[in-house]
């Protein structure tokens, strides 16, 4: 049942958001992103580049010297989710519904080659049962705060950064911003980026930040650490990620985990075709056992701009390894490390571990900046000796005595309206019908979810 407090709060927010930017001056600003620190507004230094939009004075405020300027911005998001039979009816609060509220102001100061970026977060949750967790609320805290220096060297530039930062890499299969839940995932540490033409090499050593319920108590979780190198070339990413987790748990065993991930990603487009192919091999050790795990993900898309509703058709197919033999002294379960939130869709009760998934979808342009997304998902276990996991990697159903591979199927409809360049409104309906594996290992009701969201960002 939907929480009335959540719906009431969302209705008020929707009305306020619709009224505020609707009368703004014409002309679209540069693209707004999730990673606000990647937005470059220095082009507004040229008066000819300005359109007169109300946000431009906030995006580029010149200081005393020509190379010094300040960029400011804000995101306010309200999202309500209402579940029926969450966890296939086996969750502690199977019919939970709640409201997420967050505000993300930021300031980006450029002083020649020096830079300071600060982004606080104010986030709360209403109605989360049985209790709000680290992805739901954090009161007032620092989401991002880092200092940066750029060192030009001929045709290359080295950028050194230290502090707290979001760090999505590539398709966010292994390191994501976790932007779907209420609290994004930040890291504390250092990073160096080498830019040379269209190529970029990043090296880093960071620890994930875990949100606390009180003000200014978010801290790096030192039991986990991530380091590596990520190279981006035209249409190709190559990377190595090292990962350490003290007291990790797999298959009922607990021990120290050290995992090395070696990955490659090919992506690009030709005319109306797009592709995104990625493969990862993992080695290392867990509690004295060798790790041998892998994943292959594929995505192909085709636009039809001249057809009615301009359909954009996408098919995704993923295979993620699991534990095939618990007695062979090896661990075959892939670890997605820090994946993006809402991995397979708005409703994502299972994550990318020991899974084979097929996901066809189509996006339709309804006009007036309204799009309709229709998608279906089907899931199977890769290995019968392993269970299924949630997106963070926690085991939610052990293999039991089931030999069934089919986990279930899902359907989802998402309606999105870009009301203004700053305001986005969306609604989604999702259903997950359990398959044989779910029915043979515990509660097996159909999960239903309704999501409503307003997001105002400039």
| pLDDT recorded at residue 32 | 85
Among 318, 447, 333, which residue's Cα sits nearest to residue 398?
333
Tell me, yes or no, if the pTM score tops 0.85: yes
Distances (CA, A) of 306 to 13, 311, 365, 370: 37, 9, 11, 17
What's the number of CA atoms in the CB half-sphere (13 Å) around residue 82?
13
Spatial contact of 55 and 422, defined as CB atoms under 8 Å apart: yes
pLDDT bin (cut points 50, 70, 90) of residue 24 is very low
Q: What is the DSSP string of 44-98?
A: GGSGGG----TTHHHH-EE-SSTTEEEEEEEEEEEEEEEEESGGGGTSSSTT-EE
Total H helices, total E strands in the chain: 3, 23
pLDDT bin (cut points 50, 70, 90) of residue 64 is confident
- 28: pLDDT strictly greater than 60: no
| pLDDT recorded at residue 253 | 83
| pLDDT recorded at residue 6 | 40
Instruction: Go through the domains of the chain in sequence order and give each one's CATH number.
Output: 4-457 (2.40.160.100)
Give the span between the Cα atoms of 174 and 279, in whole angstroms.
Answer: 11
pLDDT in tens, 131-157: 999 999 999 999 999 999 999 988 999
Q: Which two tokens stand for residue 384?
A: 């019968």
Among 261, 140, 270, which residue's Cα sits nearest to residue 211?
140
Q: Which two tokens stand for residue 206?
A: 């960071």
Phi-psi bin for 197: left (phi > 0), alpha (psi -120 to 50), beta?
A: left
- 29: pLDDT strictly greater than 70: no
- 10: pLDDT strictly greater than 50: no
| pLDDT recorded at residue 30 | 55
| pLDDT recorded at residue 66 | 75
- 17: pLDDT strictly greater than 60: no
- 33: pLDDT strictly greater than 90: no
Mean pLDDT of 173-189: 96
- 27: pLDDT strictly greater than 90: no
Among 293, 290, 298, which residue's Cα sits nearest to residue 281?
293
- 52: pLDDT strictly greater than 80: yes
pLDDT in tens, 345-403: 999 999 999 999 999 999 999 999 999 999 999 999 999 999 999 999 999 999 999 99
Q: Give 45-52's long-range contacts (Cβ < 8 A, gap of 24+).
A: 45/69, 51/25, 51/26, 51/27, 52/25, 52/26, 52/27
Helix (H), strand (E) at residue 18: helix 4-19
pLDDT bin (cut points 50, 70, 90) of residue 250 is confident
pLDDT over 70 for what percent of the chain? 93
């Amino acid at each position: 049942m939907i929480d009335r407090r959540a719906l009431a709060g969302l209705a008020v927010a929707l009305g306020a958001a619709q009224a505020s930017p609707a009368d703004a001056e014409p002309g679209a600003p540069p693209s707004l992103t999730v990673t606000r620190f990647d937005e470059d507004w220095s082009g507004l230094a040229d008066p000819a580049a300005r359109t007169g939009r109300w946000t431009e004075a906030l995006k580029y405020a010149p200081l005393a010297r020509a190379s010094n300027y300040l960029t400011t911005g804000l995101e306010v998001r309200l999202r309500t989710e209402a579940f029926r039979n969450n966890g296939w009816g086996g969750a502690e609060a199977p019919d939970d519904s709640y409201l997420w509220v967050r505000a993300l102001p930021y300031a980006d100061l450029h002083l020649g080659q020096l830079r300071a970026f600060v982004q606080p977060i104010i986030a709360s949750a209403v109605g989360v049962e049985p209790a709000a967790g680290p992805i739901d609320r954090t009161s007032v805290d620092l989401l991002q705060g880092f200092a940066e220096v750029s060192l030009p060297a001929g045709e290359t530039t080295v950028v050194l950064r230290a502090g707290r930062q979001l760090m999505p890499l590539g398709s966010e299969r292994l390191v994501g911003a976790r932007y779907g839940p209420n609290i994004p995932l930040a890291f504390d540490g250092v990073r160096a980026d080498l830019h040379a033409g269209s190529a970029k090499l990043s090296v880093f050593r960071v620890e994930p930040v875990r949100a606390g319920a009180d003000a200014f108590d978010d801290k790096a979780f030192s039991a986990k650490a991530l380091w590596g190198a990520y190279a981006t070339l035209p249409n190709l990413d190559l990377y190595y990620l090292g990962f350490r987790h003290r007291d990790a748990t797999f298959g009922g065993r607990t021990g120290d985990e050290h995992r090395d991930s070696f990955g490659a990603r090919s992506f690009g487009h030709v005319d109306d075709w797009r592709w995104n192919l990625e493969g990862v091999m993992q080695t290392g050790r867990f509690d004295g056992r060798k790790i041998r795990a892998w994943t292959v993900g594929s995505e192909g898309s085709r636009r039809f701009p001249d057809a009615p509703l301009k359909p954009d058709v996408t098919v995704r197919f993923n295979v993620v390894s699991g534990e095939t033999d618990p007695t062979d002294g090896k661990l075959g379960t892939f670890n997605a490390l820090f994946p993006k939130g809402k991995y397979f869709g708005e409703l994502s009760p299972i994550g990318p571990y020991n899974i084979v998934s097929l996901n066809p979808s189509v996006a339709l342009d309804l006009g007036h900046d309204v799009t309709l997304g229709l998608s279906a998902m089907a899931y199977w276990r890769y290995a019968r000796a392993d269970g299924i996991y949630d997106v963070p990697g926690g085991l939610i159903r052990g293999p039991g005595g089931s030999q069934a591979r089919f986990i279930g199927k899902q359907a989802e409809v998402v309606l999105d309206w870009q009301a203004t360049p700053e305001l986005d409104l969306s609604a989604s309906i999702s259903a997950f019908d359990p398959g044989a594996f779910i029915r043979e290992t515990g509660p097996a009701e159909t999960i239903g979810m309704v999501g409503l969201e307003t997001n105002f960002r400039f």
